[in-house]
Structure 1
Amino acid sequence: MTPIRLAIVGCGAAARGCHVPALPPLVGDLQLTALIDRDPRQARAALDLYRELGGADADRVVIATDPAEAADAFDAAVVVVPHTLHAQSVEPLLAAGKHVLLEKPMSTSAEDARRLAARAVTPVLAMAHPRRLFPAYAWVKRLIDGGDLGEVVRVDWAEGHPYAWEPVTWSMFDRRLAGGGVLTDTGSHVFDTLLWWLGPDVEVVRYEDNSLGGVETDASSHLRFGSVDVHCECSRLRDLGISCKVTGTKATVTIGTDFPAGECSLITADGVELHRGDVDGVAPAQDEWELLFTEQLVNFAAAIRGTAQVHSGPEDGVRVVELIQDCYGGGTADERSAPQPWTNARRRCGGRPLARRPYRGRQPARAAS
């Protein structure tokens, strides 16, 4: 079997922390042949890491600043550029017949996301939604699908801690490049998981953040998936813990949302504890961090060869972007603004009191998938 020649487009922190370490075990399946970044120093740093990890044929990897420069060197690409550059980076790759594994979010515009999905007819376009491979997340999916929780009635998700990722550029903190803050970043994972668990029938009931025109560090969303009420709190500053509780009519499951999940529990409605502790991975879920991304690449390669469906496809990416856009786009900036230490529930405008009104969303129209 001839290895699929792979490029990584965008060689910053996410590429070096997630995708490059996943490549050395894939001898014979995928072969890294190009590292592409507009800053060649980032590409060389990624190559140094690949070589350090024992990656095959490191001396033959092409370094380029634009995919067009290395077009003859690769058949597929992992795209890990700043969020607002996703669409403009992926479109020419798909047009050239290159297969793409795209980091979340698919784009920062629902229109761009739908356009990318429409282009992905022959080349494979897969979404990098690795939390679907977290053992605890896959366990919850099995519990919901198997009816073990009964009818799901509520989900409470809290994920917040001081920002600890080690970026190599400023892009995550510049709205022109990131497209948003914690909702675009962490929220992409959270929303994809909820859509995977509960289905695409969703409306935004209420959304608030503290962006004030920049990138938000705190976001609060109240969603409704059919009849299921979902409350999400995400923060890059506050220690909210890392937990998700899914309440059903028969049982309630609670998991840690990080990796590994730590202690998880399953308790029946009448108080019987059925599980407490960590959750073992059931394929394709993985128990080790690097193997999450190795499995993601193995699946991507199998989809290119036509022997498997991608774990997460373009339609999943579109739904996540639509939901994020519904949160950001509803109401006025004042209506979406969370209370600040210098404000309260009643604000003054022109000498008259003005009650702060949170955005209450409407059900967006969705095309059948």
Structure 2
Amino acid sequence: MSLFDVAVIGGGIAGAAAALTVAGAGRSVLVIGPEGEAGDRPGEFLSPAANALLAELGLADRIAAGPHRVANATYAAWAAPVLAQRNAITHTEGPGRVLDRRVFERALTAAVAEAGVPRLAIPLAGAERDGVRRDGALWRLTLEDGTERAPRFLAARFLIDASGRAAVVARRFVRRRRADRLVAACDFLAQTIDDVEPTPATLIEAAAEGWWYATLLPDRRMGLAFFSDPDRLPRGLSRDPARWRAMLAETEWTARWLDSAGYRIAAAPRLASAGTTWLERAAGEGWAAAGDAAAAFDPLSSHGLTSALWAGRRAAQGALAMLDGDSRPLERYATTLDEAVRQFLSQRRAVYGEVRRFADRPFWSRRQ
């Protein structure tokens, strides 16, 4: 049976940050889960606060090499139905970036591999179904990939759950709480005309049943999302491109921007969970949760990717200290996350409360 200092459940952003941190300290670490390959999905913004984390993880040069674009302009029609520009060209921590998610996650995967970290690309459902149990000072993991091959038996001194919102291990020990059931209807639009240079910007627009988000991606596609509650979305929207086009046409600013730059909806959107959820405690005896497994925030925060990097690194630092007999860094990590959740919930209420013109509509009244 193989024994590792740390086992990381999940191969995404938080898991990669955790694995790089542990490997960088000279400890043995294993990643359990497929390589992070986002494909087309919402979540493209990396805030300026991420720059220091990227440097700590040895990733700054990889990310600076592109093809990501600097996020230097955001337009919003939020508190009032008037479009206002918010510039972020200058920032003490450096620029924020709109990412090519595929390139970004491939860079993380490559960095983990180059650090000599082994990976078992076994579905996370296998880890959840076949068992993770505590045996004295060790975790015993039984992994089954659904084939006729014999199960894999592993052991680790510390476990980091970076399995996303599913939190396949951590939710067995602590309760997961939920502030809302926000969903994202997501689409990625190709430009249909070649003689217009699209504005490299992000646009946010409040609407009666939710809010719209559009951003120009590094590959010149337009990322488009509408955030609402499941009961406020038209039934069958994920199979109805005509209804999706009609919803966009009802906007004041988003439709105008996309149309002027030659972007057209060609297919129905894909739906994805986007609600605010969190664990009541993000760490315990011999384990910690990181990324969305620990806390997933409303995309209005624009800090999801940065939070994943931060949590993966800090959870791993707590694990390393715990292995050396010091529990204080792990306790500070969990306490900091608790406070971050409280602050976000307060800020969330205030930001949604700015939109008074829709205050009587269910989506908005639920958040005020």
Q: TM-score, normalised by structure 2?
A: 0.34
Higher relative contact order (CA 8 A, sep 6+): 2
Q: TM-score, normalised by structure 1?
A: 0.33
